[in-house]
Amino acid sequence: MELEDLVRLRRARDLMDREYAEPLDVPALARAALMSPGHFSRSFRAAYGETPYGYLMTRRIERAKALLRRGDLSVTEVCFAVGCTSLGSFSSRFTELVGESPSAYRDRPHDAGAAIPACVAKIHTRPVRNGEAKPGSAP
């Protein structure tokens, strides 16, 4: 892959990291990367190992976990706060990536991680699909 394409893909990935709660779709992300939607999707998957939608949903679920740990918002409020428009799809994806429902995650104690700096907690609490290796684990 060309270095120029990687720079463009990074621009779109940075946009997803910053604007995860906004209504982002492949055509909008492709425009940010100055690519056609098809080329963008193929290149993104080749570079990052997942689809643009998969990456965006991982960011959204990661943020949802942080909001649910606070415990002051309902699952529905968290769903919309992170940019999801369907509670059913949000709950299904959350359960797929985290291994438990958003309600179960919200209701269990999270005191053990309270003293861990956010930058470290982010690495170890990053949502991964069931069956994938956890970040930092041996291959």
Each residue of 9-26: pLDDT tens digit?
999 999 999 999 999 999
Q: Which CATH number fits domain 57-125: 1.10.10.60, 1.10.260.40, 3.20.20.70, 3.40.50.300?
A: 1.10.10.60
Tens of pLDDT, residues 69-108: 888 999 999 999 999 999 999 999 999 999 999 999 999 8
Q: What is the pTM of this model?
A: 0.77
The answer to whether residues 121 and 113 touch, using CB atoms and an 8 Å cutoff, is yes
Burial 32-70 (b: 16+ CB within 10 A, else e): bbebebeebbebbeeeeeeebebbbbbbbbbbbbebbbe
| Whether 67 contacts 75, CB under 8 Å | no
